[in-house]
């Protein structure tokens, strides 16, 4: 990407989009285009087409999506399917129509079958049934990556897709009911510390293994792909390292400085025993994550403390 190129970041206020904007600015890109969801409803085809005709961006990062935790995914199933498919179809088709040089679509690791072999390789896509609770969201993300793949095949465009693992970092969602495990534990331990609680409860046995990627590492990896990768095949992006939920909880507890005891409630569900991405395709291209989990958690907690009163979900 040329430093003066016109770059549109769809979803610039979210966890991923805001990290992409930070990375672009850090690397000297200044001609950036943003629109809030109130300014531009990406579900409205005519509005999206008009926006692309007016701005004609050179490059597009498609990080906009309707997202949520297990409860939201399972409750608002039609909305998650419709909104995400409309966002993807409108942005990808409009990018094709105005001749965007390159587009990068952001998917999710939930595209893989519930019982996919571990670690999950790109070729495991569509080899089994999806996790039922987030099937609509997963189907929408699969549709997005298939749109990119087949627009490349039919129209010869340069549209690529990346599938990130579990993300965390600055601008995360800390709502205890709807957030993911890492920000939820951070808030839970912080408030237990403030309230001098002797114990803090964590759902499950603590034994499941999960992979986490600091969102600023993700953004660095996405810029790397934009500058170094072309192809119809999507690419996994993650740390390639896994940690048990128990180890994760102890790491966050240490960073937060909570001195009480953690109680693992094994009557609550554990979920999938293991969920790890195979990142060898990206490693072979020459990129790997740089931020250790403890370093990333510390940076996230520092940001959390600065923004605690205004955080989403608090």
Residue 157, annotated ligand binder? no
- Map tokens 């690397």 to a residue: 27
Residue 108, annotated ligand binder? yes
Q: Is 137 a catalytic residue?
A: yes
Residue 106, annotated ligand binder? yes
CA 264 – CA 245 distance, rounded (Å): 10
**Is 11 buried (19+), middle (13-18) or exposed (0-12) by CB count in 10 A?**
buried
Residue 11, annotated ligand binder? yes
Are the beta carbons of 213 and 263 closer than 8 angstroms? no
- Choose the catalytic residue: 8, 137, 214, 229: 137
Residue 238, annotated ligand binder? no
Residue 180, annotated ligand binder? yes
Residue 182, annotated ligand binder? no
Residue 231, annotated ligand binder? no
How do 199-203 and 166-168 pair as beta strands?
A: unpaired
Helical pair 135-155 and 77-98, crossing angle rounded to 10 deg: 20
Residue 208, annotated ligand binder? no
- Binding site for NADP(+), by residue number, is 11-17, 106-109, 141, 164-167, 180
Residues assigned a catalytic role: 137
Known binding positions for substrate? 188, 203, 210, 270
The binding site comprises 11-17, 106-109, 141, 164-167, 180, 188, 203, 210, 270
């Amino acid at each position: 990407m040329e430093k003066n190129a016109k770059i549109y970041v769809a979803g610039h206020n979210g966890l991923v989009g805001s990290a992409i904007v930070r990375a672009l600015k850090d690397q000297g890109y200044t001609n950036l285009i943003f629109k809030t969801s109130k300014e531009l409803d990406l579900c409205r085809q005519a509005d999206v087409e008009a926006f692309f005709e007016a701005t004609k961006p050179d490059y597009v990062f498609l990080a906009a999506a309707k997202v949520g935790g297990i409860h939201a995914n399972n409750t608002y199933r039609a909305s998650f399917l419709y909104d995400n498919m409309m966002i993807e179809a409108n942005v990808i088709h409009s990018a094709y129509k105005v001749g965007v040089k390159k587009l990068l679509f952001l998917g999710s690791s939930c595209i893989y079958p519930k019982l996919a072999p571990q670690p999950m390789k790109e070729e495991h896509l569509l080899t089994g049934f999806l996790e039922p609770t987030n099937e609509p969201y997963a189907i929408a993300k699969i549709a997005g990556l298939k749109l990119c793949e087949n627009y490349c095949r039919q129209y010869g465009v340069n549209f690529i897709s990346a599938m990130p693992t579990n993300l965390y970092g600055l601008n995360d969602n800390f709502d205890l009911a709807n957030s993911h495990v890492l920000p939820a534990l951070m808030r839970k331990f912080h408030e237990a510390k403030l309230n001098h609680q002797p114990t803090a409860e964590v759902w499950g046995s603590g034994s499941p293994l999960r992979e986490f990627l600091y969102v600023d590492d993700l953004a660095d990896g996405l810029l790397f792909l934009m500058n170094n990768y072309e192809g119809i095949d999507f690419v996994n992006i993650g740390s390639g390292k896994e940690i048990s939920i128990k180890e994760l909880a102890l790491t966050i507890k240490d960073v937060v400085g909570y001195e009480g005891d953690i109680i693992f409630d094994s009557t609550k569900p554990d979920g999938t025993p293991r969920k790890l991405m195979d990142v060898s395709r990206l490693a072979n291209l020459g990129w790997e994550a740089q931020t250790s989990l403890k370093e990333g958690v510390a940076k996230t907690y520092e940001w959390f403390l600065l923004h605690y009163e205004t955080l989403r979900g608090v």
